[in-house]
Each structure stands twice: as structure tokens, then as C-alpha cells.
Structure 1
Amino acid sequence: MLKLCGLQFLLVIHSAMCLNLGDLHVTGPLKDMNFSIPEGGGVRILYQFTSEPPAVTFRLSGDKDGIIDIAPEKGILYLNGSLDWETKPVHWLQVESLDVNGNVVKGPYAVTIYVEDINDNPPEFDQITYAGVVRQNSRPGKPFMYVHATDRDNPATPHAQLTYSILHHFPNPYKEMLFQIDNVTGAISPSRTGSYYLDPQKQDTFTLVVSVKDMAGMSTNAFTSSADVIIHVKESLWKAPATIRIQENSTQVHPVNISQVQSNEPNVTYDIFEKEKLPRLPFSISQDGVIYVTKPLDREEKDTYTFFVVAKDNQGELTDKPLQIHVIVEDINDNPPVCKQALTVIEVQENEVGGSNIGTLFATDMDEENTLNSRLRFKIKSQVPEVPTSNLFYVQQDTGVLQLTGRSLSKFYASNYSLEVLVTDGAFETICDVEVHVIDINDQIPIFEKSDYHNVTIAESVPVGTVILEIQAHDGDEPDTGSSLIIYQVHEGDPNNTFIIDTDAKTNRGFMKINKALDFETKPVYNLVINATNPEPLVPGVQYNSSSLTLFKVFLTNEDEPPVFLKPVYQEEVSEDVPVNTLVMTVEAYDPEGDSVRYSLEGDVKKWLRINSITGQVYTASRLDREETEMYTIDVVATELNNAAQKSRTSLILHLQDVNDNLPYLVKDNPAFFCYPVRGGERTLIQATDADEQWFYSKFTFSLPDDVNTRNNWEISKVNATHAYLSPKHPNFEEKIYNVPIILNDNGKPALENKVHLKVNICKCSSEKSCFIEVERQHSLPTAGQAIGILIAVLLIIGAILGGAFFHIKYKQKNEKSHHKDATDSAELNKLT
């Protein structure tokens, strides 16, 4: 311990000289020294230099700054105040030793004191209050202003590492802040929420309290400062213009400025992309955001355009959402009227009354609909011939409807008129041609050339579409008009439309055809009344009479038809365990001619069924088996009793329902085995199955029979509904094959139980964990004597085989001779008798 000579430190130099430094370990000879001293801390001793005679005192020079000094006689280097890194981070000093005369004995030596920074300065913002402007819908994360603070501490240490945060947000109307700050750079930008919700109409000013901490914000002892940030929200510059209207076929020099957009951010690049794919979009945009139309537009080609304008920063990222630009091409009257038909033909009866609408002239205009540019007006320019007057016709100027001015049309004057109709849209005129045909009035009725076509006899099997009669009526009206065209119909005697009559429009000849299949048993005779009419209505005072009617009879001849089943297919569900002779179903067929029907079965390969040939009742003939065939299909044949050649067939399908009639059994993929010796814990997986359908049991039950030997040696544990494990209960098994009895229960209704035996081999195993099979050791090659013996034995065997074959041939020949002799003797005997 250091002991002080005085009671107080009145002067540092005196105190240093009064110290008893016998126990001070920071001592040493005079040499170059480096010290790292934390700033602050007040008075302290740094080091004591020891003197070597003849040196008796020390001298310090350099950057002492009134704080660093040395006790001349003791050689104690000390501080009489606090160092300050911010004032001077390094002090360069020299120390030398002197003799009694003040001459330098050693030195000077360099003493360097490095001042270590401590966190003793809070960060300070450049401004007490900051002000910034942000645009509505600005890009989230895009800075619009910065705050900045400094710290006087050493920037190479965490003491001056600053981190920024938003302490308060006034007002804060949403759950998330509308602004965010980069904690390193102090950049303030809209948050994703702010980019969406900022609106100067709702809130145009916000105040943020921004905090800055030193120590990188990671220490509880960090210093903190704050500043207010006033943010003004301005309306977004990035807005789509209102719908742009461009007049078609403009004569201006293109490109033409039609609108302009401006991004919220500077130094952006503008671009256009299409909403719809066009061969070439007739619009462009400059780097100032000016939108141009690049060529004259044609409304009739395309009347609207929609495209998008985007702004990108220098990294190619979108600065704002794309703006949708809508352009409407305004119409001008640049299209003349067009006649819908090159020649409009109208037919008018000669007795038509004045004011009647006789037809309409249709014209179109490609200019915009429902505008004056496409409004059409009609006017008759000429009429040829002008008889009996020059104004027989009138056209409604806005609709094109043609009317008669009076009851003046007569084929006596003219049968055709040619009209020129002037159609105008206000700027253009077009002539449309109209022909008016004066047609004869329908004042003549059709008259049949025969009032009775008598009858025809046909077979009921005559196919549909066959013509069975040709008829003819005549009409005195003008040919090739609706007044003279004849329509034939069966007026009476055919309620089901069994017959139909087609008309040859040139000759007015009628052809009666079979429209539906005939059936002698349903209707053997048809008494038909046929009428003839015109598509054009008759004039008042004229009516159809008996001259427009004719009679015709159709007789059908009966043909022998095969029986007809009441159903196309007979199906039935039958349980597979029904007793033999159970009635399954009844099939029914009838003969159209009333003959009796007999039934038989074909294709009953399993002989499961029989049928009553008279009643059609089908019975089981033997036991059914679903496991053999689940759906059994055979043919039922119906035959006429008096004509076996007339027969019909249909399908009989039995759907067999399962019953639980099959015992469960083990699926044996591989024989079970355990490696000898048994060590314990082994098990083998066994599986049960059943030929019955799965839904007849919920699970298989595995168990061992109730005998002591089996239960002492083996145990069964369930795995799932179809599998279980068989395990040996002890290790004391011999190396042999065991027959293990297992009881399987299928839990059906009724439940079936089967006792099976599983062969389990306790065997020595190979390295692959399978039973090891010993192969008999191969013998060595035989000796010469053994080889001779083997050869003799082989020759004897071959000789025996050849002898046996020779004896068999001789015996066969002898039998054949004997048989031939017996046949000869038999023939002779027959002759004698």
C-alpha cells in the first residue's frame, strides 16, 4: 500500500514528492514508454522512473498542457487533472534524467500518452426542428427528407455510433405509423400504410418526434436527444388526366401534344405500355411526361384507346402506380350513307289500300351512332313509269318506310316500278334503287284435279320417307307468287301425323310420304281428307271450298313380326345364398299378331338359372356364388309358338349380393422364420384376407387356440384390421419347423372362424438375415477303377434300354398280325352266316 506523508493533497507536486513508493510496482528504468489513459478521472499517478547515478533528478517536456508532469526527484509521472479526448487525443512527451549540475545523464526518451475516449458526449441534432414535404401516394420507403445528428465522441467507437427512431407520431390515426425512418441514415419516408392513406384533404400536417441514441442504441447507458419534424402533405402530382378527346382525321402536323403527367419524384423516366395488343400504339411520351398522338386517328377503325403510363427511377423500379390513360376518338361526318342492298325489291298486291306500309329501305352510315353525323334522311327522287300518276309512293324521311299514297296500283297500268331514293346525312348524298313489283291478289283458290284418289295398299313395314301418292291441284293466280303456291296438308284422318306432303314449288305437285313407322295392329286403315291452301291469305269475299279438298284411303297389310319384350333389359339384385328354385324375376313379351310366346335362356354357361317357357318366370337352378361372378348376364329369347323363326332376345342381368360365406385365411407371401438361436423381441408380420366383400367385416381377429403348449410358446399382437404380429415368447426353441395354430375370425354376420396352421422355421441365418441352406460338399474326381466301373454300369443300362425297345417292337408287330388275322376270320364268318 502507498502511504501519504501529508494529511492532504494541497499541491500535486508536493504530494508526489512526499509519497513512500517502496511498494509501487509501476516503476522502471528510463526508456520509451506508451500509455493508454481513459479520459477524465482527475489526479492520478501513471509511472515512476528509477534513476541511475549520477542522475538525481528528472525533467519532462512536450505536450504537458498543464495536466501532465513529473516529480523531479522521485521520477513520478502523474496527472494533476483530467485528460479530454475531444481536446487532444494524443500527448507527445520527452523524459530525461539530470545530474546535480543539471546535465543530461540519459535521454531524452519518448513518452506517448493515448487518451481513451469514454461516452461522455450526448448526440446533438443539426436542427432543433426540421420541416419536410411529402406527396400523396409517394412510394413507400422512398426518402423525402433526412435528419442528422453528430456526436463528439470517437467515431471509431460505439460511443459515436448513432441510431434513429420515431418516438412519437402526431396525429396517429391508424394502427401503423404513416412514416418510417432509416435508423442508420436518418432518411424519413412514407410507410406502406402511409403511401396508401396519406391525403392532404384529411390531414395535411404531421409532427414526428425523432430520437437519436449513441452506443448504436444497444446500451441502457446510451445518451439520447430528440428533435421535432414537421411534415406537410401535398397533393400527388402523379395523376391521370381526364378522358382525352381527339377529333378523328386531324390535319395537324403530328405528333400532337394531348396531355402531360408528372411524377412525385425527380429524374424519372416515363414509358407507355398497352392494355390491349395493337399492331402499333399511336401514342408516345417524352421524358418531360408529355403525351403525344403520333398520327391522325380514324374513329371508324377504332373509337377508344386505353393505355398505361409509368414512371421509373434510374434502377428501373416503378416510382408510382401505373396511370391508366383513356382516349376517345371524336367523330366527324366523313362517311357517306350506304344502301344496305344494291337493289331493294318490294312486292305489293294490286288492291293494297292507300297509306299501307309496303316495305322499308335500309341504309347505314359508319359515322358515330345517334349523332347528327349518322342521321339519315330519305326522299324519293324519281319514279319510273310515272303512271297512272308520278307520286304513287311516299317515303318517311327519317325511317325509310315506303307507303302507298292511294289505292292506285294495278297490273293494268304497270307490273313493276323503279324508284330512286335520295339518302343524305347532311354532308353526303347517296342514291338507293328500289323496285316495286305489283303482284296479283289471291282471289283464286286451289282446285284438285281429282276429288278422290281412291286407295293404296301397302305393307306395314314400308320404311319412313317412302312416297305413296302424288297429287295435283291448280291455282289461277299469278305464277311464282304466294297467291299461287299450293300447300298440301292432311286435313282429317291422321291425328298422329303419320303422313306428310311435300310440294314442288315449280309444278305445285304434291308428294305424300310416310312420316312415322306404320303398325297394322294399331291402325290398319286410314281415311284421309287432304286440303290445298295458299301461303298468301285470300282476299275478302273469297273462301276455300270442297274443290280444295280430296279423299284418299290407305290400307295396311299385316306382316308377321317377332315378339316384343316389355322391357329392353331385365335386371334384379339377388342374394348369393338364395335357395335353389327361388323365383328371381318374370320376363314378359307379346306377339304383335297375337300368337303365343315361349321363353328360353341362352348363354347360361354356369347353369345357374331356369325359365318357365310359358310364364317367363326365372328361377335359380343351382347355388349362386358372388365370388365367382358378381354380375351374371345371359339372354332371354322369346319365340312365337307357331313360327319358331320369329324370335326376339333381351338381356337378363343378375347383380349378386354378397353374404359372409367364405372362411378367412392367411396371405402367405414368404414363409415365416426366426433366426436360431432366438434372442427375444423377434416378430413376424402375418396378414389375413377373405374372399367376401370388404364391408361384411370390420376387422379380422387373430388368436391362438386354448392349449397350454401353444400359448406358452407363442403370442399374437394386433397391428390393424388385417395384420398382426406373431412372436416367440421365450428363447428356448429348437432348430426345426413348428406348425403354429392360429384362429382367424372375420367378424362378419354371421361371423366365420377358421383355424389355420402357420409353418415357422427356426433356422440358422446367413449374414443377410435369411435361413442358411447348407450345400452338400462336392466329391473329389473318381479314380481310374471307379471310372471304369461307372462306364460299365452306364453301358449295361443302355443295353437294357435297347433290349426293352426291341422287345416292345416285336410284341407290337405280333399283335398287329394277330389283329389282322382276327379281322379276316371275322369277315369270313359273316359271309357264312
Structure 2
Amino acid sequence: MFKLCGFQFLLVIQWAMCQNLGDLSLAGPLKDMNFSIPEGAGVRPIYQFISETPVIFRATGEKDGIIDIVPKTGMLYLNGSLDRETKAVHRLQVECLDENGDVVKGPYSVTIYVEDINDNPPKFDQTTYTGVVRQNSRAGKPFMYVHATDPDDPTTPHAQLTYSILHHFPNPYSDMLFQIDSTTGAISPSRTGSFYLDPQKQNTFTLVVAVKDMAGMTTNAFTSSTDVIINVKESLWKAPPTIYIQENSTETHPVNISQVHSNEADVIYELFEKEGLARFPFSIDRNGVIYVTEPLDREKKDSYLFYAVTKDSVGELVDKPLQIKVIVKDINDNPPVCENALTVFEVQENEGGGSTIGTLHATDMDEKDTLNSRLKFSIESQVPAVPSSNMFIVQQDTGTLQLMSSSLNKQTAANYSLKVMVTDADFQTICEVQVHVIDINDQIPIFEKSDYHNVTVAESIPVGTVILEIQATDTDEPDTGSSHIIYQVEEGDPNHKFIIETDPETNRGFVKINKALDFETDKVHNLVINATNPEPLVSGVQYNASSRTLFKVFVTNMDEPPTFQQPVYTANVSEDIPVNTLIVKAEAYDPEGDTVRYSLEGDVKKWLKIDSSTGNIYTASALDREYKELYKVDIVATETKNAAQRSKIPLILHLKDVNDNPPQLVTDYPTFFCYPVRGGEKALIQATDVDGHVYVPRITFSLGDDMETKKNWEISKVNGTYAHLSPKHGNFEEKVYIVPVIIKDSGNPSLENKVNLEVNVCQCSSEKSCYIKLQHENSKPSVGQAIGILLGVLLVIGAIIGGVFFHMKYKQKNEKKSQQKDAKDQTECVELNQ
């Protein structure tokens, strides 16, 4: 039973002799006990059982040749190293025997739990892994896993494993193309990999993947590695080529027209369109097959553009949307359509053979520039068929109608009805055409008067007013171009101030004002009017004096307001120009020649003044762009003889900036540091500059040039308007410090401003804001303070006594007056009653 070697036995005995048997953690009476002992570490004592009477201790059970007990001393010990991975728990029984070997105490249960130490490195399940990833696969979506195990206790960090990628061969980009989940070992494309992976450029990658135990949190962790070979395949997620579908298909719908494939399995396919169609005639099934769900009509819609998308189980997009384009192919399913139910042409009876009468228009809704929409024209019938049945011909491809000969005679036939057949490859349509034979224009218009004499109008007459009615007649066929009359001013109106409109039923002309008249420019207009027809006259007939008339328009004068030379005046000036600088010269004239005087309106800042005689405008006081960058006033011109006649136009002053304002410190918020100052604190300060700057103001911050300030504080720039103020140490008292700060703008020349910034070092509340600390109750005033307090108290007491005295005197005086008034009132009442 006692099998220790001599050296080991001596160690255990030495340990036992050196122990204080009263130390219950290392020695004690025999009883049920549990021990937790770290694995490894070799020979060592565990516990010493003590008995009051001489006995022999015996241990049985799961000793496994490693655990035993010294019979005479009760020393439980290890004679080798425990291994948790071999056996995690050892259960023993310990008992006491007398000299005869009889059990006098026990047995008691002794359980030894083996505590884990990190003594096993993790190992991958495979020496080499192989995986496949598709081009354009979703970033973060795993396409393979690596797995390692660690025999250490899984409830401790010893077996908590962390994965990482050590190397990436090749690595053509600055960022890795792959990433690994440190916990699960899932390998997926990174954002860069999702975008750049391309089997045409690189189809194989080798990753060196490492695994660490201890959750990767210590340098003493064990590490293993493995190679992961990744093959890159082309993306399955590709847009199909343009899909062509023949319209009005008679197939049973839905019809399979294409298919898309995602790089990932178990995705949900969907279609969406942006056009907001009332009916969307396409669908997609769970396998990515795209269908057209009903026959399409090219004439309603000739193409469709929509997108295929894939989603995962929670509705997130898996792949980038694919654009699907569908073209609807035309068939000849529409007949020609006449543009008008009845097309009417006019032709003069003297037209020659081959003359074009007009063009018949028809349309076909089938696809343009194809045989399905190609139209051909032919004449089917002519009524009446006099003097022949083929008086007209139509050009087959254009529909242009022409005369075959010059045999038209209105007395023979005034109208012809034609039926024109229009055909495409499969359909035909009849279009109705009427040809009216009209009289030739062999009569000229004749005025009823050769002279309408004089018309007098004021120059202020409104545009559009009728000033005269004129009349000419034409004996050609009524309601034709041969008899309709057009009146025009032939002479005397180079500026087109008059216009003549014709009543189409009576041919009466109305002379109207077309533009404003001006007495000062033209006092009299001598007008010559001619009358013509839209249709040209026949050969040998010409317009003559009978088709002309004349009259005079006398314009009377009206008093008009002054007129400015310009509709608006503008000036660009620097805000620092001297007072009395000439800015603008305003000019106005009076049409009647009256003298004009000038004034200003709306000059709220009194920045300007105007010379009433010349219109010269000068600065009257200093300008300020920061108040108003765009300053607007009105220039007024008034007749000296009639003040009611006045005109007004705007003057817009654009003020250009100069650097005339130093920057200012923004004090909208307090500057403070919490007491005690610990170091590293920063207070944000801001400066502004009201001057105009390109983009943003550039303000520099610096501290005042004194040793105390620079010893305690430092300032650092944040941007063009902000800086940080920081304490240099923590030895600050609770008080307000005055910190001189110099702020300087970027103007040319630059301006600077020295500001005394109040910085409060104070106790802070839990919300990190200052509060004022009350004075301690046990603090005592100084002698000077005590005298001041005493004098203050005496003055207050004296003021109170004086106030009481004056109040009593005032009250007595008022009571006396009140008594006298009451007596007087009583006397008056008595007199009234009597």
C-alpha cells in the first residue's frame, strides 16, 4: 500500500512535518471531502487526515496508480501528474484501521476534480480545405467552413477557439478578398471580394487560416493553421439577352420566356417594374423561370423594362437587381386608317394637267418602316365620270392626288367624289375624297371709297382700338380664295403701328392700333391701303387703283411722364468708398420737353444722395456690406411743371466686401473645466467674422503673449472657425481664470482681436455642468469683514428706525387732514339739508 520511492516519500513526509495540523485547509479529521486540483505538475501532497488515536489509513477506489495515502500519517498525495483529458474525476474511499486490520472509522468518500489547464493546442479537422465561390457572391455570405477542436475543458477559455486569416495568396488588392467569422469559421467574400472576384483574372486563391485557443486574447494561446484552396467560378447571376415576344400570341399562357440563376441556394425570386403599369404581364417562379402571363399587344406597348431580384428568408436582397428587357415583335394586325372621314380638296378650273391637288393621309398602327405598315393608294371610283372617268390620278406610295388633264370646268362638274383604296400587306380601307372645282380668280377687289379722308386719335389710344372701318367687294365665287379679301398697309407705316383685320363673311376691314402712337415722333400718318385675294389672279388680270384707298391719321398730343434712358440702373462698388463718390448718373427726358428733377425713394439707411438737376447719385455716408449686400432704392423723375407726371425705376447697389471687421469670439455657451482638473480635457471655442470670405472664414487662434497664460493653457485649431482650449496641468484652483486669446482673420490686410476669455474651474454636477458651492457654515469672517458687517447692521437698524419715525409723522398728518375734511363734509351736509 505504501509505494512511494524514497525521494518522493521524503518530500511528502517533509511537507507533513512542516504543516500546522490546525490548518483546516491542509489537514483535518477524516470525513467526506471534495478537492479541485489542476492537472499536471507531478508529485505533490493533497491533504492530511488526522486521527486522535493511532490508526492506519487506507485509500481505495479510482487511484489509477497516481493517487495514494501514507498509512501511518494519513497523508493523501499524488505520485504523478493528473490529466483531465484522460480522467476528469477520481472517486476514492478512505478509512481507518486498527492494529488488527479492522475498520474503526469510515469509509468516507473523497472526490478529486481535475482542473483543466491549457495544455492542448487546437487542431483542424482537415489538413487542407477546398471550397468554391461564385463571382459577385454576396459579401458576408459563407460559402464554406473550417473547423478545429481542442480537447481542453470546453467550459473554459482554454477550448474557446478564434479563427483568422493569416495570409492570402495572391492578394492583388490592398484589402483582402475573403473574410472569416472568428467564432464559426465561416469563410465569405469581403465587400472588396464581392466586387472584384473574377475567374478571368484569377480563378484560384490559397488562404492560410489560423485558429487560436484562449479566445485569442493572450499571447500564450496555442495556434494551429491550415491551407484553404478556393476556386472562383463565373457568376450564375447574369441578365439574359433581350427577349423577343411576338404580339397576340395564341399559345397557352403563361409561357416560359427565360430563366435566371442566383449564386446562392434557397433564395426567393421576385420581379419588379418602375413604370407603374396597370397590369404587369410577367411572373417568375421559385426556380427563377420567367413567364409572360398573357398575350401582348405591340400597339399598346412595344417594350418592357423590369428587374429580377433575389431575397433571403428575411427579405434582404441577395444579388444585385438584373435588368430584363422584352421587345414585342410586330405582326400585321392593324388595317390602314383614313386620317379624315372625308378629305376635301379645292382646285381651280384652269389648273393644268399634272397639277397637285393635295395629299390624302392615312395611318397604320403596325410597326413603322416595316412591310406591315407600308401603305399603297389607288383610285377605285370617280363620280361623276365626266368629261372622263379618269380625271384624277393618285401616287401609289405617297397618296398625292394630281390632275390627269386640264379639262376641269365648273359648269360641267362643280364637285367630284372619289373612293381611294388604301392597302397594306393584308388589309384594305376605302377613304372618301371630295374635289371642289372653284372659279378662277379673274376679278379684283374694288374699294367703295378711294379716300377715307382724316382720322384724329390721341397718342394715348390703347393698342387694339379700331379707328376706321373700310370696305371692298369682289365678284368672284363667294367663300373661295378668289373672293376673300386681305387688306394691307402698302405705304406710310414703316414701323407697323397699324393692322387691318378682315371679317371673313362680309369682307369688311377693321383698321386697328398695332403699336403705341407717339405725337413727338409722328404727328401724321399718310396711309395707303391695298386689297388682294389669297388666290393668285389669272394671267392677264392685275390689281389697279380700284384696289387701293388712302386716309390720314392725325395724332394729338398728351402730357406724358418722363422717360428714363434705362429700365434699371446697377452699380458695383466697394463698401469702403469715400463719401461723395459718384456712383451712377441717371438720365430721363420728358417727351413734351419739360424740365425734369430727380429724387430718391426707399433710401432707408440714407447712404445715398442725388443731384436733383443732373441725376448724379453720390454716396452720402459710409456703406456697410455686412448690413446689406444688395441695396435697392428707387430713382424718381418728375416734371417741374406737373408734379403728377413722374416715373420711377430701381437702382440696385451691389456692395463688394472689404476686410473691415475683426473676428469675434462666440460666447453663446460657458467655458469651464470640472474641478479637479485631471488632464486631457478640451473646451471648444468658436469665432465668427461677419466679413465675406470665399467658401468659409479662416480664423487662426493663439494665446496672449504672457508667461502665465502659456504655462497654464494651450490652444489647438479644429477648423476655420473652431479651436480647442486645454489646460496643461491639473494644478488649478476653483475660480474663474481670465485667458487672453488672440483671434486673427485671413483678410488682406488681416485683422485681429484680443479677447479675455473667462474660464471657470468649478465643481461639476453629475450632468457635467458647473454649480456654485455654498460657503461652509464653520468659516469665520476676517476682522475687516466683521467691522463691515457691524457697520452694515447699524446702518440697516438706523434706516428702519428712521422709516418708522417718518411713517408715524405722516400718519398723524393724514389723520388730522381726514378729521378736518370730515368736519367740513358734515357742515356741508347740514347746510344742504337746511
Q: Fold match, TM over 0.5?
A: yes
Q: Kindly tell me: are residues 331 and 390 of structure 1, through their superposed partners in 2, closer, same or farther at Cα, counting changes over 3 Å?
A: same
The one-character-per-residue Cα deviations of 1:536-574 (angstroms, maximum 9, x if unpaired) are 223344333333333444566x66x5476465999999x
Question: How far did 1:284 drift?
Answer: 2.3
1:176 aligns with 2:203: no
Question: How far did 1:165 drift?
Answer: 0.6
Q: Which residue of 2 aligns with 1:649?
A: 645
Question: How far did 1:336 drift?
Answer: 1.2
Contact 2:136–2:235 (Cα < 8 Å) also in 1: yes
CA distance, structure 2, for counterparts of residue 411 and residue 347 of structure 1: 12
Question: How far did 1:256 drift?
Answer: 2.3
Question: Please, which of 10, 18, 24 is the counterpart of residue 23 of structure 1?
Answer: 18
Question: How far did 1:332 drift?
Answer: 1.8
Within-5 A mapping of 1:395-414 = 395-414=394-413
The one-character-per-residue Cα deviations of 1:401-421 (angstroms, maximum 9, x if unpaired) are 222223333324322211111
Q: Which residue of 2 aligns with 1:142?
A: 141
Q: 1:456 is matched by which residue type in structure 2?
A: N
Within-5 A mapping of 1:143-292 = 143-292=142-291
Q: 1:22 is matched by which residue type in structure 2?
A: M
Q: Kindly tell me: are residues 477 and 39 of structure 1, through their superposed partners in 2, closer, same or farther at Cα, counting changes over 3 Å?
A: same
Q: Kindly tell me: are residues 298 and 787 of structure 1, through their superposed partners in 2, closer, same or farther at Cα, counting changes over 3 Å?
A: closer
Within-5 A mapping of 1:345-744 = 345-450=344-449, 452-453=450-451, 455-456=453-454, 458=456, 460=458, 463=461, 467=466, 469-516=468-515, 522-554=521-553, 561-562=558-559, 565=562, 567=564, 592=592, 636=638, 638-639=640-641, 649-650=645-646
CA distance, structure 2, for counterparts of residue 765 and residue 586 of structure 1: 75
Q: Which residue of 2 aligns with 1:41?
A: 41
Q: Kindly tell me: are residues 654 and 58 of structure 1, through their superposed partners in 2, closer, same or farther at Cα, counting changes over 3 Å?
A: closer
CA distance, structure 1, for counterparts of residue 352 and residue 283 of structure 2: 64
Contact 2:380–2:419 (Cα < 8 Å) also in 1: yes
Q: 1:475 is matched by which residue type in structure 2?
A: D
- What secondary structure, in the 3-state scheme, does the structure 2 residue paired with 1:22 have? helix
Q: Kindly tell me: are residues 389 and 19 of structure 1, through their superposed partners in 2, closer, same or farther at Cα, counting changes over 3 Å?
A: same
CA distance, structure 2, for counterparts of residue 457 and residue 785 of structure 1: 101
Q: Which residue of 2 aligns with 1:698?
A: none
Contact 1:600–1:637 (Cα < 8 Å) also in 2: no
Return 381-390 or 407-416, whichever deviates more: 407-416
CA distance, structure 2, for counterparts of residue 600 and residue 168 of structure 1: 86
- What secondary structure, in the 3-state scheme, does the structure 1 residue paired with 2:69 have? strand
Q: Kindly tell me: are residues 242 and 74 of structure 1, through their superposed partners in 2, closer, same or farther at Cα, counting changes over 3 Å?
A: same
Q: 2:454 is matched by which residue type in structure 1?
A: V
The one-character-per-residue Cα deviations of 1:412-450 (angstroms, maximum 9, x if unpaired) are 432221111111121111100111122233333333444
CA distance, structure 1, for counterparts of residue 195 and residue 350 of structure 2: 77
The one-character-per-residue Cα deviations of 1:642-701 (angstroms, maximum 9, x if unpaired) are xxxx8853369999x9xxxxxxxxxxxxxxxxxxxxxxxxxxxxxxxxxxxxxxxxxxxx
Contact 2:382–2:417 (Cα < 8 Å) also in 1: yes
Q: Kindly tell me: are residues 109 and 448 of structure 1, through their superposed partners in 2, closer, same or farther at Cα, counting changes over 3 Å?
A: closer
Question: How far did 1:250 drift?
Answer: 2.0
Q: 1:130 is matched by which residue type in structure 2?
A: Y
CA distance, structure 1, for counterparts of residue 354 and residue 622 of structure 2: 85
The one-character-per-residue Cα deviations of 1:574-616 (angstroms, maximum 9, x if unpaired) are x9999xxxxx999997785x9x989999x9xxxxxxxxxxxx9
Q: Kindly tell me: are residues 23 and 392 of structure 1, through their superposed partners in 2, closer, same or farther at Cα, counting changes over 3 Å?
A: same
**Structure 1 spans left out of the alignment, 5+ residues:** 1-8, 579-583, 604-615, 640-645, 658-716, 726-762, 767-771, 803-833
Contact 1:13–1:71 (Cα < 8 Å) also in 2: no
Question: How far did 1:29 drift?
Answer: 4.0
- What secondary structure, in the 3-state scheme, does the structure 1 residue paired with 2:453 have? strand
Contact 1:572–1:585 (Cα < 8 Å) also in 2: no
Q: 2:17 is matched by which residue type in structure 1?
A: G
Q: Kindly tell me: are residues 394 and 76 of structure 1, through their superposed partners in 2, closer, same or farther at Cα, counting changes over 3 Å?
A: same
Contact 1:338–1:364 (Cα < 8 Å) also in 2: yes
Q: Kindly tell me: are residues 407 and 179 of structure 1, through their superposed partners in 2, closer, same or farther at Cα, counting changes over 3 Å?
A: same
Contact 2:395–2:401 (Cα < 8 Å) also in 1: yes
Q: Kindly tell me: are residues 384 and 92 of structure 1, through their superposed partners in 2, closer, same or farther at Cα, counting changes over 3 Å?
A: same
- What secondary structure, in the 3-state scheme, does the structure 1 residue paired with 2:17 have? coil
TM-score w.r.t. the length of structure 1 is 0.69
Q: Which residue of 1 aligns with 2:343?
A: 344
Question: How far did 1:533 drift?
Answer: 1.8
Contact 2:488–2:500 (Cα < 8 Å) also in 1: yes
Q: Kindly tell me: are residues 203 and 514 of structure 1, through their superposed partners in 2, closer, same or farther at Cα, counting changes over 3 Å?
A: closer
Q: Which residue of 2 aligns with 1:794?
A: 821
Within-5 A mapping of 1:815-826 = none
Q: CA RMSD in A?
A: 4.8
Q: 2:442 is matched by which residue type in structure 1?
A: D
CA distance, structure 2, for counterparts of residue 22 and residue 520 of structure 1: 141
Q: 2:445 is matched by which residue type in structure 1?
A: P
- What secondary structure, in the 3-state scheme, does the structure 1 residue paired with 2:215 have? helix
Q: Kindly tell me: are residues 428 and 153 of structure 1, through their superposed partners in 2, closer, same or farther at Cα, counting changes over 3 Å?
A: same
Q: 2:71 is matched by which residue type in structure 1?
A: P
CA distance, structure 2, for counterparts of residue 438 and residue 765 of structure 1: 129
Q: Which residue of 2 aligns with 1:303?
A: 302
Return 630-639 or 241-250, whichever deviates more: 630-639
Q: Percent identity?
A: 62
Q: 1:649 is matched by which residue type in structure 2?
A: Q
The one-character-per-residue Cα deviations of 1:711-761 (angstroms, maximum 9, x if unpaired) are xxxxxx999999999xxxxxxxxxxxxxxxxxxxxxxxxxxxxxxxxxxxx
CA distance, structure 2, for counterparts of residue 337 and residue 392 of structure 1: 25
- What secondary structure, in the 3-state scheme, does the structure 2 residue paired with 1:141 have? coil
Question: How far did 1:211 drift?
Answer: 0.5
Q: Kindly tell me: are residues 477 and 318 of structure 1, through their superposed partners in 2, closer, same or farther at Cα, counting changes over 3 Å?
A: same
CA distance, structure 2, for counterparts of residue 375 and residue 268 of structure 1: 49
Decide which structure has the larger Cα Rg and report it. 1
Q: Which residue of 2 aligns with 1:60?
A: 59
Q: 1:23 is matched by which residue type in structure 2?
A: C
CA distance, structure 2, for counterparts of residue 589 and residue 43 of structure 1: 124
Question: How far did 1:30 drift?
Answer: 3.4
CA distance, structure 2, for counterparts of residue 654 and residue 765 of structure 1: 71
Q: Which residue of 1 aligns with 2:734?
A: none
**Structure 2 spans left out of the alignment, 5+ residues:** 21-25, 572-576, 602-611, 624-631, 654-739, 744-751, 757-788, 793-797, 830-834
Question: How far did 1:340 drift?
Answer: 0.5
Q: 1:503 is matched by which residue type in structure 2?
A: T
Q: How many residues align?
A: 658
Q: Which residue of 2 aligns with 1:93?
A: 92
Q: 2:820 is matched by which residue type in structure 1?
A: A
The one-character-per-residue Cα deviations of 1:478-525 (angstroms, maximum 9, x if unpaired) are 322222222222322333444433333333333444545556665555
Q: 1:414 is matched by which residue type in structure 2?
A: A
CA distance, structure 1, for counterparts of residue 741 and residue 184 of structure 2: 69
Q: Kindly tell me: are residues 33 and 372 of structure 1, through their superposed partners in 2, closer, same or farther at Cα, counting changes over 3 Å?
A: same
Contact 1:255–1:295 (Cα < 8 Å) also in 2: yes
Question: How far did 1:28 drift?
Answer: 4.2
Q: Kindly tell me: are residues 799 and 477 of structure 1, through their superposed partners in 2, closer, same or farther at Cα, counting changes over 3 Å?
A: same
